[in-house]
Amino acid sequence: MTSLPRGRVTLLFTDIEGSTGLVQTLGPEYPTALGKHRDLLRQAVEGEGGIVLDTLGDETSNVFVEPVQALSAAVDAQRSLAAYGFKVRMGVHTGEPSLSGGSYYGVDVHRAARITDVGHGGQILASRPTFDLLGGSWELRPLGAHPLRGLEAPEEVFQVVASGLATDFPPLRLNKAALAAEAESRETRKPAMRVVLAEDSVLLREGIARLLEDAGFEVVGQAGNADELLLKVRSYSPAVAIVDIRMPPTQTDEGLQAARQIREKYPGTGVLVLSQYLETAYALELLSESAEGVGYLLKDRVADIDAFVGAVRRVGEGGSALDPAVVAQLVGRQRRNDPVADLTPREREVLELMAEGRSNQAIADSLVVTERAVEKHVTSIFGKLRLPASPDDHRRVLAVLTYLRSA
């Protein structure tokens, strides 16, 4: 793997504007078009001595030693992409992000991503530090100080002007009125739940952070490996730590081991583990002693924003969240003289939601029935499974999981 530069670097983030419409327009041809988009970007980046850090869907992150290289690559890429009909937002920022486990993290990564967010397709935006270091080698048009989501103070933003690029764009996508309304809304609600996020993919980590911030959480720390995660948890005492199971350096179970340490050393922090693949044994191992403040979800579940946000909040409040795919696999196991077979279809639905960590009220909302009806189903389920009934959500989740994982 190419060695990544340390110290001061320039980050270039990109994403396609209107990608959803493009998917609908191109249909089955979209993957081919996306591949062409990535090839053109890679050629431009590597042609200027840069390194492609990450690609996720229609987004990319790239790094350069010098800002002039980043702008040259961005301009070359925009010209090539425009010829193929792509409208791509680009943001450039120079700073000193932390580097660990083959990934950059820290506020400079946030700043590059947020600058990209506010632009339009075909537009290249740059930060003040990048502008200062260019020394007039490129023409940049000042767009003024602009508030960026998640950052405390407005940031000066500049638009790159070059032949072959469009020059006239609508106002930047966030505005002071919108941020003022958001700030006012935050003042009227309870303090945001604090989250630390560990994921070695820069783009996925930034995407999850953005999603959580939009949902009202405060992402107080990000990490690219297990050691940095433990440092962030110790430093910020978050309500919940979201942890990728497979992390550097071996990409095996570093995240799971870190999750165990957090549960042992920092019991006030809930742990939500994310996994690319269904690994039932890992999920049950995590829940083996207690169901309080612990969860296990597949990464695909992040796309269901409401469900994901609900799971994070539930874990942060001391509840549990087990991926429906894990529960379905456990419920579907064949056993001799299996009492699960005696459950009615509705009771099986309730059982699965119980095992996910849902309260009676949440189950009632999901199934569109009364809470009283759910209570009756729960009583019947515990009777048929010969389990001791408990009003405590954590104990009943643990009881159900103990039964489901048994032979």
What are the tens digits of pLDDT across the range 215-266?
Answer: 899 999 998 888 899 999 999 999 999 999 888 888 778 888 898 899 889 9
Residue 406's pLDDT is 54
Terminal CA-to-CA distance of the chain, rounded, Å?
A: 45
For position 399, what pLDDT does the model report? 62
Q: How many CB atoms lie within 10 A of CB 131?
A: 20
Residue 199 and residue 162 share a domain: no
Average pLDDT, the chain: 84
d(CA 16, CA 401): 43
Q: Looking at the 3D structure of the chain, how many domains does it have?
A: 3
**364 has pLDDT over 60:** yes
Are 344 and 305 in a shared domain? no
**Separation between Cα atoms, residue 214 and residue 182, nearest integer Å:** 10
Tens-digit pLDDT profile for residues 282-305: 766 776 666 678 888 888 888 888
Q: Is the domain of 225 the same as that of 309?
A: yes
pLDDT at 75: 96
Distances (CA, A) of 40 to 76, 82, 89, 250: 9, 11, 14, 31
Share of the chain above pLDDT 70, in %: 86
The tokens for 40 are 């053109």
What number is the average pLDDT over the span 38-59? Answer: 91
- H/E stretch holding 248 reads none
Give the domain range for residue 163: 9-181
Taking CA atoms, 176 is separated from 153, 166, 173, 184, 382, in Å, by 12, 25, 10, 12, 54
Q: 273 and 245 in contact (C-beta within 8 Å)? A: yes
Alpha-carbon distance of 149 to 178, in angstroms, equals 10
Q: What does the alpha-carbon distance between residue 290 and residue 273 come to, in Å, rounded to a whole number?
A: 15
Residue 3 within any structural domain of the chain = no
Task: Spell out a b/e string for 327-338, using b for 16 or more CB atoms within 10 Å of the CB, else e.
Answer: beebbeeeeeee
For residues 384 and 381, what is the distance between their CA atoms, to the nearest angstrom? 5
For the domain that residue 196 is a member of, what is the CATH number?
3.40.50.2300
2 domain residue, yes or no: no
Going by pLDDT thresholds of 50, 70 and 90, the confidence category of residue 402 is low
Residue 1 neighbours by CB distance under 10 Å: 5
Indicate whether 98 and 168 sit together in one domain. Answer: yes
The stretches of 171-323 forming alpha helices (DSSP H) are 176-188, 202-214, 226-236, 254-265, 280-286, 305-316
**Of 70 and 280, which is predicted with more confidence?**
70
93-133 per-position pLDDT tens digit: 999 988 876 778 888 888 998 899 899 999 999 999 999 99
Cβ atoms of residues 62 and 95 within 8 Å: no
Domain match, 354 and 257 both: no
CATH of the domain at 27: 3.30.70.1230
Same domain? 39 vs 161: yes
| Boundary-marking domain end, from 126, 158, 181 | 181
* Residue with the two structure tokens 């790239």: 62
- Global pTM exceeds 0.75: no
In whole angstroms, give the CA distance from residue 256 to residue 260.
6
35 and 144 part of one domain: yes
Residue 315 is assigned to a structural domain of this protein: yes
